[in-house]
Amino acid sequence: MPRLEYFVVAESVSVDQATNTMSVFHILEEIRAPLFPVVIPKLSAIAHWNAAPDELDQDFQVSVRISFPDGKLLPFNQNFRMARRRQRTIANFAGLPISQPGTLTIEVSLNGQHFADHTIEVFKIDE
């Protein structure tokens, strides 16, 4: 099974087409809102995998699951082929409504095996 190098959740990510370098913008650690519901305009979940030589050219399924403070779950699944030793997977979401304060948890799994969580605290602030 490939090894997870890192998992991060941010507002956005950009991959340079010429150099394949990646930039991650505004890592999400907390959200402060005066009113609920609040909408997260964009969210990107980025995982970086390292494979052993015998895992190259194999297919894998990565699952990203968002657990909202109100108990709602949003799954996202994608298949990918481990074409080289290091591989990124990026799950992009848009317009995520959060109905109440609490903890937003984003989980990543590979072939059904849980690898990491990223939590975002959601607070109600006074205006």
Confidence of residue 30 (pLDDT cuts 50, 70, 90): very high
Q: Does domain 3-124 have CATH number 2.60.40.1930?
A: yes
User: What does the alpha-carbon distance between residue 55 and residue 84 come to, in Å, rounded to a whole number?
Assistant: 9
The mean pLDDT of the chain is 95
pLDDT at 57: 92
Kindly list the domain boundaries of the chain, sorted by start residue: 3-124
pLDDT tens digits along 77-95: 999 999 999 999 999 999 9
Q: For 20-37, what is the mean pLDDT?
A: 95
Residue 46 has pLDDT above 90, yes or no: yes
Residue 39: count other Cβ atoms within 10 Å of its Cβ: 10
Q: What is the pTM of this model?
A: 0.90
